[in-house]
Amino acid sequence: MEDMQTSETIHPDQIDSSAASITYKDIGSVVRYELRTTHIIVYGEMVNYTILFPGPSVVRIVGSIQGHSADIAPTPALLPYELQLGWSIVETEFWLEISRGDIVVTITKATMSFRVSFGGEEVCDSHELYYAGKKLRCRGAISREALLYGLGETTGFMDKRGEKYTMWNSDVFDPHVPDMESLYQSIPLLIHHHPGGTYGIFADNPGRTVFDMRTDTESYLIETENGEIDLYFIGGPGLKDVVSAYSTLTGKMKLPPLWSLGYQQSRFSYMSQDVVLELARTFRKRAIPCDVIYLDIHYMDEYKVFTFDKERFPDPPKMMKELREMGFRVVPVVDPGVKIEEGYNVYEEGSLKKYFCEKPDGTQFVGHVWPGASVFPDFTDEKVSRWWGDLHQFYVDLGISGIWNDMNEPSVFNSSSKTMDIDIMHQNGGNPKSHGELHNLYGLLMCKATCEGLGQLLQGERPFILTRAGYAGIQRYAAVWTGDNRSYWEHMSLFMSMGINLGLSGVPFCGADIGGFVHHTSGELLTRWMQLGVFTPFCRNHSSIDTKGQEPWGFGDKVEAICRKYIELRYSLLPYIYSLFYEASQTGLPVMAPLVLEYPTDRNTFHLSDQFLFGKDMLIAPIYRPGTEHRVVYLPEGTWYDYWSGERHHGGQHIVAQAPIDTLPIFIRSGAIIPQTRIKQHTETAEWLQLDFNVYCSGYLEGEELSTREFMLYEDDGLTDKYETGECNLLKVQCQRQMGKLSIRLKYAKSGYGLGRKSLIFNVHQLGFVPDNIVGIERVDNMEDLKVHASGWYYSNHNQKLVIKSEFTDYQGVYLEIISC
């Protein structure tokens, strides 16, 4: 505890109040405006606005201080977009009104304050700009009832009112507490959610950017320090519309390989080849499903990337072969710091070609990280990125298709900045900029280089990248884990709001170290965290050096059995999970979502982040306190079923769920169709030949005449990008409910892959009537009989559950009509 602070920290003489004393000044009035082919420039006394329309519901306003020419080339956060033309401008005595389609920007001439309205709704109230030297501040009014979401990976709760964050990617080993204003990722998207109309404001600035929702309770302040502020206003009207429009701008997650959705085991570090192999054998011996083992820094020779330590890992090809035979993938860590060492090929070649970041005087920037004195590739230069990508041949030759990019803020072990010097110059595609201006892009660009390089080398196999640092758009290249959390109950619960806001900020594929990284986990914490972890999009258990091991078997039989049960539950749900990922890759919407996304006008959901939706139909309510066996759960409107007991609850109320240590409260929305499959010890293809559908009847029970619900099941090989050229299936499962009748229909909406014979089971819960006949299927006398027949049905009066077994052998699909007496 050498670095522990004492009360001396707040000695009045130590407090530096100069930061608070910056005086921002008014920017004055509009002087004139100019219409260009693709944009409009409004010149002011101190600041100019450049106004562009990058999408049908998006307007971009770039404020630049006089004398600083606005850089309107979009940053690498964005996908290339086509500017929307056809705008018009109207000038009155007091205003300039610029409109295109549904969007109207009204600028007050006297002050240059502006409003944006979408679809005639003034959802986005007054915004003003101020300046102080090269600093710009945008003040935006917060409506009284609005909630503030987004901002990616931040501490605190889901609503960001009253918080302040600095977007500056930082390696934070200290415990992640609400005082931490910066973490590893920077996603400068703030969502102003109001039931009457939601909008997003994306401040695309990869340099230091402050979001201050604290100083002024009625406004948010966004501050930059490079003479420019680049604001994208994204219209809704709904929360989903904003998230999906933002993902159109910054890109969507690509469909990951199926194996990366399995359970993953990591530790800093599994120290040798023997340890890794023994770990793999233990998983199989104990029958705990697992797909991936991570290699942390000790696999390397003196922490040199693209090497193996010859003593600890004497025969990587042999290790890889044995692991593959047991069904494991390996994901090694690759950091950006390249050890300075004569004769080390990566260092030698990179230096010769001047690929490493340089100081203004043209000498290499040297920073200390795990390998000691190191140099850092300049990923803003395409050639460097290609070179780095190609270096991954080293891993691909061993059969590796996943890479873990860490320390890529970049983290540098120095006591002051903890990162690269801000005056380092980056090549930036021929438009050199300083590290201070581009800092938050470093991790994103490293992942881009890794993902694109690996993608090329794998020749059609999908790469998987995991990253710690990132910026807006990171979802295009990598899954995100939330860095060095701790084995604290508080950190388990913290991930729920972090994961939810990452999802609302365009990053569906995210997770935290299950069990906690630093500190020592307990059997109870691991158990509860595992229950939550199998329902987070990225599911990896990772722990630090010198902490109690946290493999699922380290805490006795009971903990092991519960961990196995939940990991198995995840594997059985893979058809559901993979379909959710497919959907997210198409829509940009989260896999792990806050309730407010589906119920945006229900006030009970506005702050709800200790329970979440996993897909639309599963509500997960983890226990996140020790010694606790019950909790309050909010069920929104509709009808909900307890996943374990089948008990039915009316929505629109809070209930108390009982949760003994082996129970994670899970509720299923009525009308849901949840596909599950047989448990395997590791994933194989994503063509599901064994499908058990849990059908939760709906509609009629609530008195509707006819109700139809659907689930779109996605299938492909789970491994290659052939799905992009049509080698995939979409199987539409539809249940239609009428008085005394239920019909279930399975039909391919798209068929281009596999199409083998499928064994199907339908568990129809709460049917609501006693079935008499299912056309073409025989009734059997009991459940045991059902097991031995390829087809048949059985109805239990006891729990009102109908089980139907059937087969699916051709393209024609299945049609089952269940008729009452």
Q: Are residues 251 and 475 in contact, defined by beta-carbon separation less than 8 angstroms?
A: yes
**CB 530, min distance to ligand GLC, A:** 18
Residue count at the site for ligand GLC (CB under 6 A)? 10
Buried b (16+ CB within 10 A) or exposed e, 50-80: bbbbbbebbbbbbbbbeeeebbbebbbbbee
Nearer to ligand GLC by Cβ, of 435 and 542: the residue is 542
For residues 430-469, which are near ligand GLC according to CB under 6 A? 468
**CB 441, min distance to ligand GLC, A:** 20
Catalytic one of 128, 409, 610, 716: 409
Report the SS3 class of residue 631: strand
Count of CB atoms within 10 A of residue 677's CB?
18
Report cis status (omega within 30 of 0) of the bond before 237. Answer: yes
Buried b (16+ CB within 10 A) or exposed e, 215-228: eeeebbbbbbbbbb
Count of CB atoms within 10 A of residue 751's CB?
16
Q: Interface with ligand GLC includes 333 (CB under 6 A)?
A: yes
Nearer to ligand GLC by Cβ, of 160 and 468: the residue is 468
- Name residue 293's beta-bridge partners: 265, 330
- Annotation marks residue 406 as catalytic: yes
Report the SS3 class of residue 815: strand
**CB 404, min distance to ligand GLC, A:** 8
122 burial type by CB count under 10 A (0-12 exposed, 13-18 middle, 19+ buried) = middle
**CB 485, min distance to ligand GLC, A:** 9
**CB 543, min distance to ligand GLC, A:** 8
Closest by Cα among 218, 155, 212 to 182: 155
**CB 542, min distance to ligand GLC, A:** 6
Q: Interface with ligand GLC includes 153 (CB under 6 A)?
A: no
Closest by Cα among 147, 149, 114, 119 to 235: 119
How do 47-55 and 40-44 pair as beta strands?
antiparallel
Nearer to ligand GLC by Cβ, of 44 and 483: the residue is 483
**CB 189, min distance to ligand GLC, A:** 24
For residues 656-715, which are near ligand GLC according to CB under 6 A? none
- Measured N-to-C along each axis, helices 273-285 and 316-325 cross at an angle, to the nearest 10 degrees, of 10
Q: Interface with ligand GLC includes 268 (CB under 6 A)?
A: yes
284 burial type by CB count under 10 A (0-12 exposed, 13-18 middle, 19+ buried) = middle
Nearer to ligand GLC by Cβ, of 100 and 542: the residue is 542
Site string for ligand GLC, 353-392 (x = CB under 6 A): ----------------------------------------
Structure tokens at 6: 């004492």
**CB 486, min distance to ligand GLC, A:** 12
Report the length, in residues, of the chain: 821
d(CA 10, CA 466): 39
Closest by Cα among 575, 486, 550 to 760: 575
d(CA 135, CA 137): 7
d(CA 503, CA 696): 27
Q: Interface with ligand GLC includes 296 (CB under 6 A)?
A: yes
**CB 515, min distance to ligand GLC, A:** 13
- Name residue 592's beta-bridge partners: 614
Nearer to ligand GLC by Cβ, of 296 and 692: the residue is 296
Q: Interface with ligand GLC includes 410 (CB under 6 A)?
A: no
- Name residue 185's beta-bridge partners: 470
Nearer to ligand GLC by Cβ, of 323 and 369: the residue is 369
**CB 337, min distance to ligand GLC, A:** 11
The full DSSP string for 232-292 is EEEE-SSHHHHHHHHHHHH--PPPPPGGGGS-EE--TT--SHHHHHHHHHHHHHTT----E
**CB 482, min distance to ligand GLC, A:** 10
Q: Are residues 370 and 335 in contact, defined by beta-carbon separation less than 8 angstroms?
A: yes
How do 88-91 and 95-100 pair as beta strands?
antiparallel
- In this structure, is the dihedral angle defined by the CA atoms of residues 677, 534, 525 and 607, taken in order, positive or negative? negative
Nearer to ligand GLC by Cβ, of 104 and 444: the residue is 444
For residues 467-486, which are near ligand GLC according to CB under 6 A? 468, 483-484
Nearer to ligand GLC by Cβ, of 109 and 468: the residue is 468
Q: Give Cα 175 to chain centroid, integer Å.
A: 22
For residues 500-519, which are near ligand GLC according to CB under 6 A? 517
Count of CB atoms within 10 A of residue 472's CB?
31
Nearer to ligand GLC by Cβ, of 70 and 297: the residue is 297
Nearer to ligand GLC by Cβ, of 224 and 265: the residue is 265
- Measured N-to-C along each axis, helices 489-504 and 523-533 cross at an angle, to the nearest 10 degrees, of 10
Nearer to ligand GLC by Cβ, of 139 and 267: the residue is 267
Catalytic one of 406, 560, 568, 715: 406
Nearer to ligand GLC by Cβ, of 272 and 681: the residue is 272
Q: Which residue is nearest to ligand GLC (CB)?
A: 268
Q: Are residues 190 and 205 in contact, defined by beta-carbon separation less than 8 angstroms?
A: no
- Annotation marks residue 598 as catalytic: no
d(CA 137, CA 221): 6
In the numeric block, the tokens 């630090």 are attached to 544
Q: Interface with ligand GLC includes 297 (CB under 6 A)?
A: yes
- Residue 409 phi/psi, 5-degree rounding, is -65, -35
**CB 603, min distance to ligand GLC, A:** 38
d(CA 85, CA 206): 27
- Annotation marks residue 721 as catalytic: no
Catalytic one of 335, 437, 484, 560: 484
Nearer to ligand GLC by Cβ, of 95 and 413: the residue is 413
**CB 36, min distance to ligand GLC, A:** 46
- Name residue 639's beta-bridge partners: 650
Closest by Cα among 134, 89, 125 to 201: 125
Structure tokens at 72: 């309107």
d(CA 737, CA 743): 7
Q: Are residues 289 and 568 in contact, defined by beta-carbon separation less than 8 angstroms?
A: yes
Binding site for ligand GLC (CB under 6 A): 268, 296-297, 333, 406, 468, 483-484, 517, 542
Catalytic residue numbers read 406, 409, 484
